[in-house]
Chain A
Amino acid sequence: MNIFRLTGDLSHLAAIIILLLKIWKTRSCAGISGKSQILFALVFTTRYLDLLTSFISLYNTSMKFIYIGCAYATVYMIYAKFKATYDGNHDTFRVEFLVVPIGGLAFLVNHDFSPLEILWTFSIYLESVAILPQLFMISKTGEAETITTHYLFFLGLYRALYLMNWIWRFYFEGFFDMIAIVAGVVQTILYCDFFYLYVTKVLKGKKLSLPA
């Protein structure tokens, strides 16, 4: 465990908690893509099936349970508890265009052709693009609440820190996982445009709104 890995995990946790608290405090999930949140729940479910087969550490196990629990709590809030505030009309990204090709790719490009490994690979590929419905929704409405942008910032920062972690691990441990690295690079690139807007607008106290 190096500093990039730890801060990456904490950044990921911060993002998840910020989103949950935003929905809970405002009693509203306006501006949040339920589709992205379903994809993230699917990502955690397919990736952490190894909870049933192997024990890494107390840290590892607890974080997995927290991520899965929070992901389903978020989906529950959007599609059940605060359903009336969910802006489904703007959440129109066609997720089957992501899930189906990624399922195929996970079958074709993986480390080992076994069920758990294919599901893990699927989760890595899916995570890299799971934010697209949310970004699509923002581009459609042309704006995002500031708290939503903080969520996106920490979520993007997390994978960028993991990239640093992988560079660290390559140099100091000789460890590298090509599938995770390539997907992680794709995932981080998807946030670059957003990072730019976050720094130039939100951090200067302005609301994130896109030109019409």
Chain B
Amino acid sequence: DSATTEKDEL
């Protein structure tokens, strides 16, 4: 599963 920290999408 994936990124829980940095959200680079809007």
Interface residues of chain A, those whose CB is within 8 Å of chain B, are: 5, 9, 12, 47, 50, 54, 56-57, 60, 63-64, 67, 111-112, 117, 120, 162, 165, 175-178, 180
Minimum CB–CB distance from A133 to chain B (whole Å) comes to: 22
Whether the Cβ atoms of A60 and B8 lie closer than 8 Å is: yes
* Interface size grouping (class) on chain B: 10 to 19
CB closest residue in chain A, given B8: A56
Bound: A67/B9 CA distance, A: 13
Task: Tell me whether A67 and B2 are in contact (CB under 8 A).
Answer: no
10 further contact pairs, Cβ within 8 A, besides A111-B3, A176-B2: A12-B10, A54-B6, A56-B6, A56-B7, A57-B8, A60-B10, A162-B9, A175-B2, A177-B2, A178-B2
Chain B residue with minimal CB distance to A50? Answer: B7
Query: Most A CB atoms within 10 A — which of B3, B6, B9?
Result: B9
Main secondary structure of the interface of A (DSSP, over half): helix
Within the complex, what minimum Cβ distance (angstroms) separates B1 from chain A?
6
With both beta carbons as reference points, the residue of chain A lying nearest to B3 in the complex is identified as A177
Task: Kindly list chain A residues whose C-beta atoms are within 8 Å of the C-beta of B4.
Answer: 111-112, 117
Q: Is the CB of B10 within 8 A of A111?
A: no
Question: B9 to A5, Cβ gap below 8 A?
Answer: yes
- A47 and B5 CA atoms in complex are apart in Å by 13
Q: Which residue of chain B has the shortest Cβ distance to A54 in the bound complex?
A: B6
User: How long is the Cα–Cα vector from A176 to B3 in the complex, in angstroms?
Assistant: 8
Please name 20 pairs of A and B residues whose Cβ atoms are closer than 8 Å in the assembled complex, sorted by A.
Answer: A5-B9, A9-B10, A12-B10, A54-B5, A56-B6, A56-B7, A56-B8, A57-B8, A60-B8, A60-B10, A63-B10, A67-B10, A111-B1, A111-B2, A111-B4, A162-B9, A177-B2, A177-B3, A178-B2, A180-B9
Bound Cα distance from A162 to B8, whole angstroms = 13
- Nearest CB of chain B from residue A160's CB, rounded to whole Å: 15
